[in-house]
Amino acid sequence: MTHWLNVVVATPAHSAVAGPLTYRSESALSPGTLVRVPLGKREVLGVVWENLADSGGLAETQARNISGTLEGLAPLSATWRRLVGFTAGYYQRSLGEVALAALPPQLREMTGVQLARRLKRPVLDSSHAQDTTNSIALSAQQAAALAEFDADTRPALLFGATGSGKTEVYLHAAARVLAQDPDAQVLVMVPEINLTPQLQARFQERFAHLGKERVVSLHSGLTPAQRLKSWLSAHAGHARMVLGTRMAVLASMPNLRLIVVDEEHDPSYKQQEGARYSARDLAVYRARLEAQEASSGNACRVMLGSATPSLESWQATITGRYQRLTMNERVGASMAPSPGTGVSSLPPEGANFGSAALRELRGGPSENWPAPEGGVHIGRLPQVRGVDMNHQPKHCVIAPPLVNAIAQRIARGEQSLIFLNRRGYAPVLACHDCGWKSECPHCSAYRVFHKIDRTLRCHHCGFTERVPRACPACGNIDIAPVGRGTERLEEHLAELLTGVTRPDGSAVRIARIDADTTRLKGALESQLASVHSGEVDVLVGTQMIAKGHDFRHITLVAAINPDGALFSSDFRAPERLFSLLMQAAGRAGRDARHSEASEMWVQTFHPTHPLFAALKQHDYPKFADQQLAERQAAAMSPFGFSALVRAEAREQEVAQGFLNAAAAAAQASELDGQGLVTPYPAVPMTIQRVANIERAQMLVESPSRAALQRFLAAWQPLLFETRRQAEFKSLVRWAIDVDPIAI
């Protein structure tokens, strides 16, 4: 008997094939089954999407048989397929592109025989240990937050100060879910790959009684074999807990009961290639889908955690769509790192809370802060000091008072963190005679000078070459770096701290952590371990050290040059800057013994800016209110909805022409939803050229999310049609970015 199947396969972006293809099978297959099917001259992996009553008009001579089935794997659930379908529709991508990208790369290449061989390997670790999930006492605020969470069904935003113990709340919430249902699964998401190993070590330690293989990770840093192993374990229900980055939101977890999104504000949750989805938003949607499918009492919940929530999530708590759980007390008990991990047992967190709570918390000396019942100690947030660089010596990089403060910390055996979000030695190399600068020949950007290997490196296309001996334009040998990166800042600090010694009389030790120093496997872990062990006195780095790490001996954090984002054309820039500075501040004083003396120094030429006023008070609500008022007046997110249509071509005129022609075609066709949608003229992107490709973008706005979605869906065929016009044959690619995080 012949069975007809709709099968989803990965098709090229913006190809004419966007939906399922019809195939013939000799046996009935359940929707969600993985199959090998012919596609052109290749054989590819596909997902059975639905069974058909007939061929749907497909001629018998055109019909092709499936090549085989990947036996031994349970079909992907209906909830997973609905999630993928929503993702593809909302973010305007093909169904097959999203579905197959959510599967491990190694699985996509496997035959049925190879998979069968792989599935014969043992999956579970039979070792068990004592249940330690509730071994750490909760503070009163942590316990109250958990109680509130259990009493509600809405998505929850856990708004907690730096070091308030949000990870401990995650652990206890996960423990309750796993204890209530022996098959339940928990998904915990973090924004950065470098945070996953330390979080996994902590979760594995606390849930060791489940067996080591029950806690797995999913992120792009894994080898293909490791990623496949974790995915198979989650799909089979063996893994009770999955920790991962944004890709994990689309993992197959048939018994999902809790989703935690740590640092939910982080822009890393927005995919920037292919299907440009927001993992945070999909987590909320997935929890709703899972709750609809779950039996009574087993509904899936989602908990978003941050000290500086995204304005979208914050506004959702104001309107009542989300539940807000507030923890404004900083848990600062001193705890040693877990053996062999270099990671402290306290959670990596964000930073801040309202000014009223702050004033109450800072109301008295440390002896007036007894440990609450259970032995949980309370610490303070660091005092924020603004340094007006207009009153410092000319061309000063680090203000003398800040240098003195760092020296005092070193003399006391404490650590300092210096934050500069620009790697390399200097952002540009220049000739002051003729004006030559180290521009990238392939991009509209400068190549960064890296002194350590004497190279000029483009951070956009990767083009690298040796530093010239003289100016390539005029031959002047006196070419010099302009500006400073972390590499140059590290060198400058060593000069400024000459003569300063540690308590034992030894020389100061300065370390740098950024993308350049952590390229090799294991480099980041070893460098973090040296910081945790006290070998480092001053740590210099980019945003990768400004968030998520629990440094126990850092009492001073300094932001060297944060002004660039204050006047950016991107409306989200102030939100990102405030969050980053609060995250950086949160690295100081995480041990209650040092919290009273902890400080955050901010060097700025604009000390009266409202952002710094809110930062000084650790007052996120004040900052959010001001930003939301501006957003509402301008009808921007979360009060308006937008999409960016980007085009890339060899010539800028072609890229812009394509976008403007497509918009004109939409106007002429009177598309569905067009009355509520405003497309703006195409303009070059901020970095106009990358790798010799010109880039342009068009902003499309609407006060209605539904109207914008209807318009984009109806516009897609016109975009394809415009692309086929002769004058746009040199167009390289185009893409739609719904809910963009940067404009």
- The annotation places the binding site at 431, 434, 440, 443, 458, 461, 471, 474
Instruction: Give per-residue burial for 465-483: e unless 16+ CB within 10 Å, then b.
Output: eebbeebeeeeeeebebeb
The C-alpha atoms of residue 31 and residue 23 are separated, in whole angstroms, by 13
Cα atoms found within 13 Å of the Cα of residue 487, Cβ hemisphere only: 17
Hey, what are 554's tokens?
């850092």
Pick from 662, 652, 651: nearest CA to 700: 662
Contact 416, 558 (CB under 8 A): yes
Helix (H), strand (E) at residue 581? helix 573-585
Cα atoms found within 13 Å of the Cα of residue 353, Cβ hemisphere only: 24
The C-alpha atoms of residue 565 and residue 120 are separated, in whole angstroms, by 54
Cα atoms found within 13 Å of the Cα of residue 697, Cβ hemisphere only: 16
Report how far apart the first and last C-alpha atoms of the chain are (Å, whole number): 55
Hey, what are 63's tokens?
């019909």
Is 675 exposed, middle or buried, given 0-12, 13-18 or 19+ CB atoms closer than 10 A? exposed
In this structure, what DSSP letter does residue 269 have? G
The C-alpha atoms of residue 731 and residue 553 are separated, in whole angstroms, by 54
CA dihedral 311, 314, 315, 318 (to 10 degrees): -160
Helix (H), strand (E) at residue 113? helix 112-119
Contacts 24+ apart (CB under 8 A), 292-301: 292/79, 293/77, 293/78, 293/79, 294/257, 298/181, 298/184, 298/257, 299/153, 299/257, 300/256, 300/257, 300/258, 300/259, 301/149, 301/153, 301/155, 301/156, 301/257, 301/258, 301/259
Is 51 exposed, middle or buried, given 0-12, 13-18 or 19+ CB atoms closer than 10 A? middle
Beta strands in 99-251 (DSSP E): 156-160, 185-189, 215-218, 241-244
CA dihedral 439, 442, 443, 446 (to 10 degrees): -20
The C-alpha atoms of residue 714 and residue 591 are separated, in whole angstroms, by 56
Instruction: Please identify which residue in the block is written with the tokens 């209605």.
Output: 704
Residue list for the binding site for Zn(2+)? 431, 434, 440, 443, 458, 461, 471, 474
The C-alpha atoms of residue 639 and residue 315 are separated, in whole angstroms, by 9
Instruction: Please identify which residue in the block is written with the tokens 């240990």.
Output: 129
The C-alpha atoms of residue 198 and residue 213 are separated, in whole angstroms, by 16
